[in-house]
């Protein structure tokens, strides 16, 4: 059973460039979450989807960040334009729809903005 | 918000039992308590989940008192590979995102 798959694992780019992070959730999971992790702020929830629909994006830091889920097996998190302070590890997680079901995380994308 | 409070760090030795306690004074009636483990360069990994009393699986036990305002993760006979950050999370998949707060976690260091 494949887990949550994220790509790329590492991304290094220059400030001002567009960055797109990708996530494939576990099949059958109706919830998808995007997190950002830094030393200073720990794990922060950015946005989550239920059945491909964004439910709460209050954690998205600013308009430079956007997330989409065009179908049940794919989601993207885009940063445009990127800034050095966006450097972090970005995690995607998915879970089944029942209350209390645990989240299953991918191994993350380590993003470095120069 | 279902905020949690955990010790920032703990140290122990191989073969010992380790207990990490998490406080969650404003836990809601429908909230579950979930613990995750995170190794460097990996995403958090589910360890155990419970609602009340005691839950045990092949890697850990979770003790939850009757008032559910705290919980204790128990790791029996730890090894060096248990060195990781452990997060206590209160809530559920249907909770509002504002309730999904991982907190700073407990950095557990196991020594030989």
Three-state secondary structure string covering B35-78: EEEECCCCCCEEEEEECCEEEECCCCEEEECCCCCEEEEEECCC
Confidence at residue A99, expressed as pLDDT on a 0 to 100 scale: 64
Between B36, B46, B94, which is nearest A99 by CB? B94
Between B45, B93, B96, which is nearest A101 by CB? B93
If one counts every other C-beta atom within 10 angstroms of the C-beta of residue B109, the result is 13
B58 dihedral zone (left: phi>0; alpha: psi -120 to 50; beta): alpha
Task: Pick out chain A residues at pLDDT < 70.
Answer: 1, 98-100
Mutate to test the interface with B, among A98, A102, A109, A112 (most CBs of B within 10 A): A102
- Interface contact B34, partner A, CB < 8 A: yes
- The neighbouring-strand residues paired with B73 are B20, B62
Confidence at residue B44, expressed as pLDDT on a 0 to 100 scale: 94
Of B9, B27, B26, the closest CA to residue B18 belongs to B9
Confidence at residue B95, expressed as pLDDT on a 0 to 100 scale: 54
pLDDT averaged over 10-residue windows placed end to end, chain B, 112 residues? 84 97 89 92 93 93 95 96 94 58 88 95
Q: B67 Cβ partners below 8 Å, 6+ apart? A: none
Of B32, B20, B41, B31, the closest CA to residue B87 belongs to B20
Confidence at residue B41, expressed as pLDDT on a 0 to 100 scale: 87
How far apart, in whole angstroms, are the C-alpha atoms of residue A25 and residue A37? 19
- Interface contact A26, partner B, CB < 8 A: no
Confidence at residue B26, expressed as pLDDT on a 0 to 100 scale: 86
Confidence at residue B92, expressed as pLDDT on a 0 to 100 scale: 62
- Interface contact B16, partner A, CB < 8 A: no
- Interface contact B99, partner A, CB < 8 A: no
């Amino acid at each position: 059973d494949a887990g949550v798959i994220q790509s790329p694992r590492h991304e290094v780019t220059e400030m001002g460039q567009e960055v797109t992070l990708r996530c494939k959730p576990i099949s059958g999971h109706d919830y998808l979450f995007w997190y950002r992790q830094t030393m200073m702020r720990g794990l922060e929830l950015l946005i989550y989807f239920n059945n491909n629909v964004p439910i709460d994006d209050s954690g998205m830091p600013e308009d430079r960040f956007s997330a989409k889920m065009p179908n049940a097996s794919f989601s993207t998190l885009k940063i445009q334009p990127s800034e050095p302070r966006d450097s972090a590890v970005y995690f995607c997680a998915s879970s089944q729809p029942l209350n209390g079901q645990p989240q299953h995380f991918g191994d993350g994308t380590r993003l470095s903005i120069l | 918000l279902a905020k949690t409070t955990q010790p920032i760090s703990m140290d122990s030795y191989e073969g010992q039992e380790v207990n990490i306690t998490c406080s969650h004074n404003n836990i809601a009636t429908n909230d579950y308590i979930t613990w995750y483990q995170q190794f460097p360069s990996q995403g958090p990994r589910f360890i155990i989940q419970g609602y009340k009393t005691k839950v045990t699986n092949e890697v850990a036990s979770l003790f939850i008192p009757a008032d559910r305002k705290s919980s204790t993760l128990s790791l029996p006979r730890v090894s060096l590979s248990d060195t990781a950050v452990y997060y206590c999370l209160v809530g559920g998949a249907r909770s509002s995102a504002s309730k999904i707060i991982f907190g700073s976690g407990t950095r557990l260091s196991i020594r030989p």
